[in-house]
Chain A
Amino acid sequence: MTTSVISAAASTRTTASAQGSIELRQVRKTYGDVVAVDELDLVVEPGEFVTLLGPSGSGKTTTMMMVAGFEEHTSGSVLIDGKPVDSLPPRDRNLGVVFQNYALFPHMSARENVEFALRMRKVPKAERRQRADSALERVGLGTMGDRKPRQLSGGQQQRVALARALVFNPAALLLDEPMAALDKRLREHMQEEIKTLQKSLGISVLFVTHDQDEAMAMSDRIVVMKDGRIVQSGPPEEVYNHPLTDWVASFLGDTNLIPCTVLERKDGEALVDLGGLGLGRVRDRGVAGENYAVSIRPEHLKFSSEASADNCGKAALVSSTNLGATVRHRLTAGGHELQVRELSSDATNRPAPGAELFVTWEPDKAQLLVLEQ
């Protein structure tokens, strides 16, 4: 019985998933002289999981608050399902929002919390209860309906918040750093759960986080923000492997940034002079600027026993540190400091510090980018 309710709810969602797009057109937000968000263009396609990733102050939360309607944008337009919602108050935007600290109503039980949106929509009591219970069941809290938020653990509160945001079949889901208050293990678990739930419901998600691992793990697309602007947008692998600026490269994890001069650019590939590391072929996404560098992730640099013409440099090992699953090697090569990371299981028979060796990389794993800093 309960199962059929869930699948029925899930199937309604699937048919409704043709809708649920969010679009921002030239959205700008200023506080006095301070520009919080600047001429932002962003589309979340129906069913897409888009993450706004950036440090604090990058405008990502402000952007979400404008989509939800809690903040009014200074100019531009926000569209949900293709319709402008600029003049709609939050309650008419039909968006499920999960807040950073869940913002559950403390005096209401979990079930009453979940029922709230249905109550506001004047859904009859019996149906309300049934839908709330099946929503709670969907997030694995079928037996916890009578508990007050303070009697629930952080992870359980988070699930209640999710059930509450989903129970009224919103057009899309907005998640504002929902995992920030959870410990690491639980966070990883919830990431998977939310992702699975999102896929099975086919609902569009706009997700805000400053945690790049979280963004990598969950997103269909990552939108990296800095100082109120989008600096790069694309699938997680692309943003990670092919950052467009050195800032993006270092914000999304460790990387080797090697300043270079560009000798030739053709067909998405560039021939660059890496100084002491010789000539190299790297990927080129057409960025233009004054100073260029090449970004290679530590795990994409490989040791090699012999020299080859391109994409290979002579290096001296400085130190090796075992980090458990991986080993981090520090090297110097032609005046540059380099980092190489490899799986511990691969790191057998490595030379002692001071030894000379070669490092090499695949052109596709190295990215030509613009030096901003």
Chain B
Amino acid sequence: MQTTNPRQRLLTLLSIPVFLFLVVPTAIVVPVALNDSRYITFPPEGISFAAVAGFFADKAWTSALTASLQSAAIAVVIGVILGATAAIGLHGRKFPGQQAVVGLILAPMIVPTVVLALAFYQFFISLGVLGSILPIGLAHAVIATPYVYLTTRASLAGLNPALVNSAQSLGAGWLSVFRHVYLPVILPGLVSGALFAFSVSIDETVMSLFMQSPSATTLPVKMFTDIQFNLTPKIAVSSALLVTVATLGLLFQVMFVLKRRSTARMLPLAVSAPN
């Protein structure tokens, strides 16, 4: 049925190279990580898990991984709280200056990261808190918040505003309204927002680089600095790790979140159409 039309067949044929172009450069890190060599080479000379074992045995790399996970955790928790409350607070409301508020929330997606990085660097250095993972996590939370805001807002679009009134008239306070009216509706949006926040933070390099210190080096920063001196396969291992995490997140999203039709419209979409 899908190949009866020659134009469709042509389209399918054409999309294969595009798909490969998108996926292969990313996927190539996996064989490189499993390469049986002391350097980054391609094609791999043999399959071995030595580099993977080496990665996890190297304190410098595991602490970078830990730092990344910590900053991601901060970004997810704060991003979800800020993004979700902003989406709920703005839901079904009209007031002067609303567009400006929405623009402000979305701004971190548009402002060049290097500008943000410099701003955060100066801000945190004047507070004297640089040197720990906290400022990096907070900066990541800022760029993660708009994603959570957008996914939550998209899932709220299906909410009948009368449900809030109806819960209130039945005796619900704000906490019960949130738990019984908002939460069931926004949960898929929250989950995918959290996944976005996680991958935004895990992947973020520029800000982390500006705010790095020996005690706060995230995985991408460690990769970036290392690649200039020694081409160890551990870099490929961490890349493979990031790719795997991202793929798992995406898979999770497809299987559990996108299944629900109400949130099907949430993905990248929202980015291109902020209102």
Contacts and interface: CB of A to CB of B under 8 A. Distances in A.
B184 A97 contact: no
Interface residues of B, number: 16
Q: Do most interface residues of chain B lie in helix, strand or loop, or is the interface mixed?
A: helix
Contacts of A103: 160, 162-163, 165-166
A30 to B, nearest CB: 17
B180 A116 contact: yes
A242 to B, nearest CB: 36
Interface string A84-110: 000001110101110111011111100
Interface string B170-185: 1111001000110010
B126 interface: no
Contact of B169 (A96, A100, A105): A96
Interface in A104-122: 104-108, 116-117, 120-121
B95 to A, nearest CB: 12
Interface residues of A, number: 26
Interface in B48-83: none
Interface in B214-271: none
Interface in B165-219: 165-173, 176, 180-181, 184
Nearest to A89: B168
B165 A68 contact: yes
A108 B167 CA distance: 12
Interface string B14-56: 0000000000000000000000000000000000000000000
Contact of A120 (B162, B163, B165, B170): B170
A93 to B, nearest CB: 8
A232 B181 CA distance: 39
B166 to A, nearest CB: 4
Contacts of B165: 68, 70, 90, 97, 99, 103
B168 A105 contact: no
* The 8 residue pairs across chains A and B that have the minimum distance between CB atoms: A120-B171, A103-B162, A103-B166, A117-B170, A90-B168, A97-B169, A107-B184, A99-B162
29 contacts: A68-B165, A69-B169, A70-B165, A89-B168, A91-B172, A91-B173, A93-B169, A95-B169, A97-B165, A99-B162, A100-B162, A101-B162, A103-B163, A103-B165, A104-B166, A105-B163, A105-B181, A105-B184, A108-B180, A116-B167, A116-B170, A116-B180, A117-B171, A120-B173, A120-B176, A164-B170, A165-B169, A165-B170, A168-B171
Interface of B: 160, 162-163, 165-173, 176, 180-181, 184
